[in-house]
Chain A
Amino acid sequence: MRKQKDKLYRGLLWGSAFLTVAVLVMIVGYIFFKGYRLISFEFIFGDYSPSGGGGIWPMIITTIYTIVISLLIATPIGICAAVYMQEYAKQGRLVNLIRFATESLTGIPSIIYGLFGAVFFVTTLKLGMSIIAASLTLTIIVLPVIIRTTEESLKTVPHSYREGSLALGTTKLQTLYKVILPSAMPGILSGIILSIGRIVGESAAIFLTAGTVAAMPSSIFSSARTLTVHSFLVTQESGDIELASAVGIVLIVIILALNLSATFISKKLNKADY
């Protein structure tokens, strides 16, 4: 009887795991078979032509712009905030409140951030529909992710490292830079990877702040279109599922490449520290 129960549970667990993988394979497979015919050198590196056909190079560049700019702003601020809360602030009501706030921020639907960005960055700060407005909005979206993951990884650094370092007559800042942050680096990097995923995957907030101009952006102050927004628009406007799927393939490849390189860097860093 107990053995049968065990078997049943094992089957259920295995089934769930299988289902997850199967769904993933199905989605990727579906996108791939729908879109792979369009993938060509011209498609990836060519300029977009609104009359149909043409490439998606402007959208790739726009996507990369948004990733780089938002991470450049969000990473240092996020890490500093996490370090402050974990290492410096007196643990108490205020810090708990900030923690609660960052946690709540991660749960807010991105369209709300988009609306805020459209009102504040685009209109009030007069940045207009632009890459920079979208990037600033994305910064707010990923900030809580970076703060949370950094804080969690700081928590895993053994207290004995801090004691060992301070007992050698080092300052708190030296201890932070030489011992604590290097030990927390893998966790911080995984937060950054998560953030890249969120940035690349975001469409609603970008749609409202960067607009939809399908041309190569001349600067970060121009309106432009990211890959996800492009994918959304071609489906909506022309029902061209094949084109949208081809864009999807490129997106998946970009995310995969970024994740792999981040993992690679994290491994490299670990090795440097032994």
Chain B
Amino acid sequence: MSAKDIKLRVNNSTLLQEANKEVKISVRNLDLFYGEKQALYSVSLDIHENEVTALIGPSGCGKSTFLRTLNRMNDLIDGVKITGNITIDHEDIYKTTDVIKLRTKVGMVFQKANLFPMSIYDNVAYGPRMQGIKNKKELNEIVENSLRGAAIWDEVKDRLKTSALGLSGGQQQRICIARAIAMKPDIILMDEPTSALDPISTLKVEELIENMKKDYTIVIVTHNMQQAARVSDKTAFFLSGEVVEYDVTSKIFSMPHDQRTEDYITGRFG
């Protein structure tokens, strides 16, 4: 199946005709190259506001690369070239938006918790402080609200001034989510946020994602198909840098159009 056919399929799917939810992120004909090597082929999809969109696919299929185009983290890598366009709230993020501003609007949670060697409080307050917020009361409020938003306030409220690195992996990851929330973003990108966590911590993060979607638009990369099925509203299946299928999650998992999607979700490869 050629890239053109895929585009047709995406365009014909029920998604683009759905009018009730605002399109938050719109991606058109996105190609990405690492030097000579092409990693994404003509990706086009719309991500809707206040929904959880899951990106699934085997390792190296381009789902993480795609996720990182949304807050321009790929800019950090030498030799990355991008064509096509991505708009967030109708603004082309590669042309008109300032990258610093973009990243305050589009938060990110990484595969492995990457808290700084500072206290819990300082980690969460880091972003706002860098934005120039100095008022103690205001910072206290932001930190508390963010930690509550990440459902970890009760666990850490008595030790905000202790090292964040002393927490368990699952707690650290939720602090990372709080740190992202503290910037008051519209969109939160999550790159396999639970792949390093135990099942109970994973469950907590999944519940959190469920609760967060009323306030944020969430895009999550996951290796775990049950997770995609549990938490997401829409699912995009990536294979070799192309979007094979993008649809409502329940449809993807019950009656996928494409044979490759079916093979993947039934565990025949990947």
Identify the A interface with B (CB < 8 A).
Answer: 90-91, 158, 160-171, 174, 178-179, 182-183, 273-274
Q: Which residue of B lies closest to A270 (CB)?
A: B117
* New A-B pairs, 6, CB < 8 Å, besides A178-B126, A183-B116, A274-B165: A161-B114, A163-B110, A167-B110, A168-B103, A169-B183, A178-B130
Is there contact, CB below 8 Å, between A168 and B127?
A: yes
16 chain-A/chain-B pairs, Cβ below 8 angstroms: A161-B116, A162-B76, A164-B110, A164-B115, A164-B116, A165-B116, A166-B73, A167-B107, A168-B126, A169-B101, A170-B130, A179-B116, A273-B117, A273-B118, A274-B118, A274-B119
Cα distance, A91 to B78, chains bound together (Å): 9
Ordered nearest first, which 5 A-B pairs have the shortest CB separation? A169-B104, A274-B163, A160-B114, A169-B103, A168-B127
Known: A90-B78, A163-B76, A163-B110. A168 touches B117 (CB 8 A): no
Residues on the B chain within 8 Å of A91, using CB: 78
In the complex, whether B100 has a CB less than 8 A from a CB of chain A is: yes
Cα distance, A166 to B164, chains bound together (Å): 19
Q: Which residue of A lies closest to B130 (CB)?
A: A170
Question: Of residues A158, A171, A178, A274, which shows the largest number of chain B Cβ atoms within 10 Å of its Cβ?
Answer: A274
Is there contact, CB below 8 Å, between A169 and B162?
A: no
Q: Which residue of A lies closest to B108 (CB)?
A: A167
Cα distance, A164 to B117, chains bound together (Å): 12
In the complex, whether B71 has a CB less than 8 A from a CB of chain A is: yes
Cα distance, A158 to B71, chains bound together (Å): 20
Cα distance, A169 to B76, chains bound together (Å): 13
Is there contact, CB below 8 Å, between A170 and B118?
A: no
Cα distance, A183 to B165, chains bound together (Å): 14
Identify the B interface with A (CB < 8 A).
Answer: 71, 73, 76, 78, 100-105, 107-108, 110, 112, 114-119, 126-127, 130-131, 162-165, 176, 179-180, 183
Known: A166-B73, A274-B162. A171 touches B100 (CB 8 A): yes
Main secondary structure of the interface of A (DSSP, over half): helix
The answer, among B102, B110, B127, for a CB contact under 8 Å with A170, is B127
CB distance from B224 to the nearest CB of A (A): 21
Cα distance, A198 to B127, chains bound together (Å): 41
Is there contact, CB below 8 Å, between B126 and A167?
A: no
Residues on the B chain within 8 Å of A170, using CB: 100, 127, 130
CB distance from B185 to the nearest CB of A (A): 9
CB distance from A181 to the nearest CB of B (A): 12
Known: A178-B126, A274-B163. A168 touches B112 (CB 8 A): no
The answer, among B71, B101, B112, B116, for a CB contact under 8 Å with A167, is B71
Known: A161-B116, A163-B73, A168-B103. A174 touches B130 (CB 8 A): yes
Residues on the A chain within 8 Å of B179, using CB: 164, 168
CB distance from A219 to the nearest CB of B (A): 43
CB distance from A118 to the nearest CB of B (A): 44
Cα distance, A90 to B79, chains bound together (Å): 11
Residues on the A chain within 8 Å of B73, using CB: 163, 166-167
CB distance from A170 to the nearest CB of B (A): 5
Residues on the A chain within 8 Å of B117, using CB: 182-183, 273-274
Residues on the B chain within 8 Å of A183, using CB: 116-117
CB distance from A154 to the nearest CB of B (A): 15
Cα distance, A166 to B104, chains bound together (Å): 10
Cα distance, A274 to B162, chains bound together (Å): 7
Question: Of residues B105, B116, B163, which shows the largest number of chain A Cβ atoms within 10 Å of its Cβ?
Answer: B116
